[in-house]
Amino acid sequence: MSSQPARRYRYYDLLLAAFVTVLLCSNVIGAGKAAVITLPVLGEVTYGAGILFFPISYLFGDILTEVYGYAHDRRAVWAGFAALVFAAIMSLVVVSLTPASNEYMVSYQRGLETVFGNTWRIIVASITAFWAGSLANAYVMAKMKIWSGGRFLWMRTIGSTAVGEAIDSSLFYMMAFYAIWPTEQVISVAIAQYFLKTGWEVVMTPVTYQVVGWLKRKEEEDYLDIGTDFNPFRVKV
């Protein structure tokens, strides 16, 4: 028997490209800068600049899983994983190349080393944490949709993000900074980042509703992952 051809969607490829773009930019442009903000009660809080944009990748993950199903989001996660690996390898090669011997290039090389010269420990931690957290987010989102019969979208988006970000933040900070920073600092920063990232999902819930509703109407799809193979190592939809 011949299998049914996979359904083609109008906007999936665009969402996939946007997801990978946000992921790369938030990791490459924002990850290295520590910024500060003064909050009521808490006072001055230090945070990574990438936190302003990285949670958008989880927003995309929720939308992809809700509309197209777990398998399509898993494919997007693997695409993002491959993009991060390529960016890490390209950064290593470009930084290691001997610069031309003029004042501008010497200064430029120092800038490259500052921005892109992350240690392999941080790179591996970042990629691993993203992969595990994003797939956990998609899995929880898909399972909660089945359990709730497709109701309570806000509960699914916030609940899945809470699980995914907990895994992401825990893995990244323990893998990247354990035994380098004091343990209590690793834990406190991880907790702060977790609540800031999850808070993003709460704030963006109205936007998620609008985008999900629009996509479901345009794609004529509202996928329910009954019978889905949740193997995280598959790429095929």
- What does the DSSP assignment read for 113-176? HHHH---HHHHHHHHHHHHHHHHHHHHHHHHHHHHHTT--HHHHHHHHHHHHHHHHHHHHHHHH
Angstrom distance (rounded) from CA 65 to CA 75? 11
**pLDDT attached to residue 5:** 56
Give the percent of the chain with pLDDT over 90. Answer: 59
The class level of CATH for 12-219 reads mainly alpha
User: In 3D, which of 65, 51, 195, 85 has the Cα closest to residue 135?
Assistant: 65
Amino acid 31: pLDDT: 65
Tell me the pTM. 0.89
61 by DSSP, 3-state: which? helix
Residue 44 has pLDDT above 50, yes or no: yes
Mean pLDDT score across all residues of the chain: 89
Q: How many CB atoms lie within 10 A of CB 69?
A: 22
Provide the 10 A C-beta neighbour count for residue 143: 17
